[in-house]
Amino acid sequence: MTVAALRREFPALHRRPGRPGPVYLDSACMSLVPRPVLAAMEEYYRDFPGCAGRSFHRFAEEVSHRFEGTREEFRRFLGAPSPSEIVFVRNSTEAINLVGQGLPWARGDRVVVTDQEHNSNLIVWQRLREERGIGLDILNLPDGGGFDPEALEAILTPTTRLVSLFQTSNLDGRSLPLREIADRIHARGGRLLVDGCQAAPHQPVDLEALGADYYALSGHKMLGPTGTGVLAARRPEFLSDLRPLLVGGETVAWSTLHAHELRPPPHRFEAGLQNYAGVLGCGAAVRFLRAHGLETIRDHDRSLNDRVTRALAGEPRLHLLGPADPAGRPSIFAFTLDGIDPTDASLFLDEAHGILLRSGMHCVHSWYRARGLTGNLRASFYLYNSAADARTLVTGIEELLDRIPAPGAS
């Protein structure tokens, strides 16, 4: 399917009268939703709006079958050993909290994160440090990309219980060598939790090959609806070790007025009525991605990023974040412009050229505050972006730089 034909599957890309664009370059925040995903959600509410696992009438049976079928879709998508290692949650934030709040911590246990983590993979560990006395160690990453294995080795201790970090950064698009990191923490008896939000939508994932013991992702970054996500585990016992965040309906095998027994994973973690339409929409998103090929999507992202990077390489006022080579940050082009506030730049690009991108600190406040920065701009590419989108971005940035003089210019 050509990019032009693919774009027709995304209603949000239709032009609005009197407005330029949209040139949507904010998929790292939230991806657009294709027609098959919208259809899957509508079909649930229209044709079988029942509760899974409760009643036995035709609506309930249909949604139960499709809900568990989506679990199998994600098992194959992530290379989990069985559907029982797939837990449906609201987003990756909930998935990370499920691991953080659910592990049986002992005072003195330690967690390692990088200095470039999303707030979702930082705040929970700060709270556990305050409430349960765990240690929190920060692995500083080189600003220009790359990874220092000796720095990791130096920070790991015999009491490091967990390393929790991104696979691909939402800040600058770099990816980490997870297999090497996993081997080092596993050699000490610890576990690896991976924030896969920026990786799973763009490249194949295999938990065993990566060595990821837990893997968190959000549906809204991979063509799915908001309020959907997954926590996947590489081994059944990794879920059995966790205490549920919530208990109640659907989490118990039986209860009396004085006791109860929890169901086995994953159902013990899925309390109450679930977001059936959202989960079925996520299943449609997974099928859509698999049909178009994750390797193809990754190569397409990188091609667009390369176009933009080369076109703007000679602009002295534009400064890239992360690796200089687009191959090291395929889906993300993060940058600052000398003398131009990121929010002002974002508003201009939208109003003048219909370019929708992200400005600010990208939920990684700690990284920016440590450097005294107020934020930057981030364009993120995905399968529905075209070469014309890349050209429009370049044109918009060049016009903005022409309009606003460089600092100190007369």
Provide the CB-side half-sphere exposure for 67 (13 A, CA): 26
Question: 297-345: per-residue pLDDT in tens?
Answer: 999 999 999 999 999 999 999 999 999 999 999 999 999 999 999 999 9
Query: For residue 173, what pLDDT band results from cuts at 50, 70 and 90?
Result: very high
> For 2-9, which contacts have Cβ atoms below 8 Å and span 24 or more sequence positions?
3/300, 3/384, 3/385, 3/386, 3/387, 4/386, 6/292, 6/383, 6/384, 7/384, 7/386, 9/34, 9/35, 9/36, 9/384
Question: 80-101: per-residue pLDDT in tens?
Answer: 999 999 999 999 999 999 999 9
CA 255 to chain centre: 37
DSSP type of residue 221? G
Rounded CA gap, 328 and 325, in Å? Answer: 6
Q: Which residues are catalytic?
A: 363
Rounded CA gap, 265 and 277, in Å? Answer: 22
Q: Is the pTM value of this prediction over 0.95?
A: yes
Rounded CA gap, 41 and 280, in Å? Answer: 6
Question: 204-262: per-residue pLDDT in tens?
Answer: 999 999 999 999 999 999 999 999 999 999 999 999 999 999 999 999 999 999 999 99
Q: What is the DSSP string of 273-307?
A: S--HHHHHHHHHHHHHHHHH-HHHHHHHHHHHHHH
Cα separations in angstroms, 118 against 78, 152, 197, 201, 361: 22, 19, 10, 17, 10
Q: Which domains does the chain have, with CATH numbers?
A: 3-25+293-403 (3.90.1150.10), 37-290 (3.40.640.10)
Q: Specify the pairing of strand 252-255 against strand 260-262.
A: antiparallel
pLDDT score, position 17: 84
State the average pLDDT over residues 136-141: 97
Q: 152 by DSSP, 3-state: which?
A: helix
